[in-house]
């Protein structure tokens, strides 16, 4: 018993030690493109906790530098950039003290007049995604492009892609006349996680002919012991007696002549006795 408990404890411990914790990087505002001189907040999150993670980045000038070294202001696992500039463009991710890393995001800081606001994180397959082409002052009519090919013109500067699929993944940009063109941004589409269904109970399968039959059998199952008992009683009652027993006949054989003579003499004696008694 003690050995079994010890083996179970070692098994659970190995599972816990082999598990990995994955953090995610949250950004505000949630846009892959930003105008320069904007305030940006980056935060590492891990199952509601943010301890032990630091925002790290790669830019065109330096690689794998952490927040607080020569850029940004670090507070626990958060990082803020008060005035972001084009040289802050790059790849950002969360890194733990043990060397684990989260998924990365791309940030583009534009010094131009037009940007394309798109989700920073990958888009889930089947969801809707809205792309916004904007200037520093307002949203105007804009032309949208994917992988260099023209898609359509939106008068309000907003383009919504309904029920995105893997084919919608690509490099997007927009153009506003008399203002210019936005930098390109890559939109990633990920598949939805597989959903698991719990197995149906034996007596409650999906509705079908076989399910109806199985439901009837399940409802009759409690009567099986009673049926077996009745059959056993009938078998005991109908069982023939064992041994060399002769059948008893209710018919009487006729008397022989000797027996008949004795009967007649008995009658004569009884008659004589009766006569003497009366005299």
Residue 73 has pLDDT above 60, yes or no: yes
CA distance 200 to 187: 40
pLDDT per position as a tens digit, 163-173: 999 999 999 99
> Does residue 13 lie in a domain region?
no
Domain check: are 38 and 86 in the same one?
A: yes
> Does residue 185 lie in a domain region?
yes
Q: What is the structure's pLDDT at 14?
A: 34
Q: Give the model's confidence band at 20: pLDDT under 50 very low, under 70 low, under 90 confident, else very high.
A: very low
Mean pLDDT of 4-13: 36
> Does residue 75 lie in a domain region?
yes
Residue 218 has pLDDT above 50, yes or no: yes
Give the least confident one: 17-21, 55-59, 193-197, 212-216: 17-21
> Does residue 235 lie in a domain region?
no
pLDDT per position as a tens digit, 95-124: 998 888 998 999 999 999 999 999 999 999
User: In the Cβ-directed half-sphere of 266, how many Cα atoms lie within 13 Å?
Assistant: 6
Residue 80 has pLDDT above 90, yes or no: yes
Domain check: are 34 and 77 in the same one?
A: yes
Domain harbouring 153, CATH code: 2.60.40.10
Of 192, 221, 237, at which residue does a domain stop? 192
Inter-residue contact 180 to 114 (CB < 8 Å): yes
């Amino acid at each position: 018993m003690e050995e079994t408990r010890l083996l179970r404890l070692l098994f659970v411990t190995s599972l816990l030690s082999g598990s990995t914790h994955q953090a995610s990087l949250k950004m505000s505002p949630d846009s892959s493109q930003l105008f320069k001189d904007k305030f940006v907040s980056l935060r590492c999150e891990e199952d509601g906790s943010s301890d032990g993670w630091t925002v790290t980045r790669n830019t065109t000038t330096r690689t794998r530098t952490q927040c607080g070294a020569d850029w940004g202001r670090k507070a626990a696992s958060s990082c803020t950039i008060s005035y972001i500039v084009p040289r802050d463009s790059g790849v950002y991710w969360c890194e733990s003290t043990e060397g684990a890393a989260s998924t990365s995001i791309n940030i583009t800081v534009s010094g131009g007049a037009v940007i394309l606001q798109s989700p920073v994180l990958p888009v889930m397959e089947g969801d809707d995604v809205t792309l916004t082409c904007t200037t520093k002052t307002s949203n105007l009519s804009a032309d949208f492009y994917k992988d260099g090919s023209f898609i359509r013109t939106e008068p309000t500067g907003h383009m919504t892609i309904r029920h995105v699929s893997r084919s919608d993944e690509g490099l997007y940009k927009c153009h506003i006349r008399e203002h210019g063109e936005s930098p390109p941004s890559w939109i990633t589409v990920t598949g939805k996680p597989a959903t698991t269904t719990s197995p149906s109970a034996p007596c409650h399968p999906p509705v079908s002919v076989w399910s109806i039959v199985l439901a009837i059998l399940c409802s009759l199952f409690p009567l099986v012991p009673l049926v077996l008992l009745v059959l056993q009683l009938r078998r005991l009652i109908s069982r023939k007696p064992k041994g060399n027993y002769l059948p008893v006949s209710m018919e009487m054989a006729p008397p022989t002549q000797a027996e008949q003579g004795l009967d007649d003499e008995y009658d004569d004696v009884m008659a004589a006795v009766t006569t003497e008694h009366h005299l």
